[in-house]
């Protein structure tokens, strides 16, 4: 891996989950990671609840915007070390071929953009997903990726942060 590990988070609209992950990784480990995000069908703008969720913790929220994953397959696009699919629509089977040989993994979180009975339930969903992503990013930045071979990286990046605890799965 390069001096800074380049990580691309993928989601359907790139207006909530992938933006949260990009922001958190950029904020928590800027010296070790370069974070990016993109979507299969990018939204026109960030979801207002994403902005509300991030505004108290993320300093550079103004630079965030939905982008297409096609912008990361061009020859002049940054070469990713890790690509993280955060929903079924963005998994490896559907994703374009990204330049280089990035580690591809899947971290599935509930869609906070799903239909909810009321606004309070949707706000709760955003808060819950934000906390889950924060926990996953915290575990991710603790990994010694630079000292691992490719197979070890795949296993480590795909491991669930609660693996080994009773009732926890081995992968998201």
Could you tell me the fold of the domain covering 5-154? Rossmann fold (3.40.50)
What is the DSSP secondary structure assignment for residue 169, as one 8-state letter?
-
Angle of CA points 76, 80, 86, to nearest 5°:
120
Residue-wise pLDDT for 89-113, tens only, equals 898 888 889 998 899 999 989 999 8
- 30-34, 78-82, 141-145 — which is least confidently predicted? 141-145
pTM score: 0.84
For tokens 């992950």, name the residue. Answer: 21
pLDDT at 157 over 80: no
Contact 80, 8 (CB under 8 A): yes
Can you read off the two tokens belonging to residue 111? 């869609």
Q: What is the mean pLDDT of residues 105-127?
A: 90
pLDDT at 151: 61
Scanning 43-118, the segments in alpha helix (DSSP H) are 48-54
Can you read off the two tokens belonging to residue 25? 């990784």
Angle between the N-to-C axes of helices 119-142 and 17-28, in degrees from 0 to 180, rounded to the nearest 10: 40
76-110: buried (b, 16+ CB within 10 Å) or exposed (e) per residue? Answer: ebbebbbbbbbbebbeeeebeebeeebbbbbbebe
Sketch the domain layout of the chain as residue ranges.
5-154
pLDDT at 21: 97
């Amino acid at each position: 891996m390069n001096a800074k590990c380049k990580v691309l988070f993928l989601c359907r609209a790139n207006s909530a989950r992938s933006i949260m992950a990009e922001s958190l990784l950029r904020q928590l480990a800027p010296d070790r990671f370069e974070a990016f995000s993109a979507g299969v069908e990018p939204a026109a703008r960030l979801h207002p609840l994403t902005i509300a969720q991030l505004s108290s913790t993320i300093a550079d929220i103004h630079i965030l915007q939905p982008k297409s994953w096609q912008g990361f397959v061009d020859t002049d696009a940054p070469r990713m070390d890790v690509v993280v699919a955060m929903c079924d629509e963005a998994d490896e089977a559907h994703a374009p071929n990204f330049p280089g040989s990035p580690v591809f993994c899947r971290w599935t979180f509930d869609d906070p953009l799903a239909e909810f009975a009321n606004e309070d339930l949707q706000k709760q969903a955003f808060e819950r997903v934000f906390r889950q992503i924060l926990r996953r990013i915290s575990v991710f930045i603790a990994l010694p990726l630079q000292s691992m071979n490719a197979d070890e990286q795949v296993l480590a990046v795909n491991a669930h942060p609660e693996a080994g605890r009773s009732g926890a799965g081995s992968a998201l």
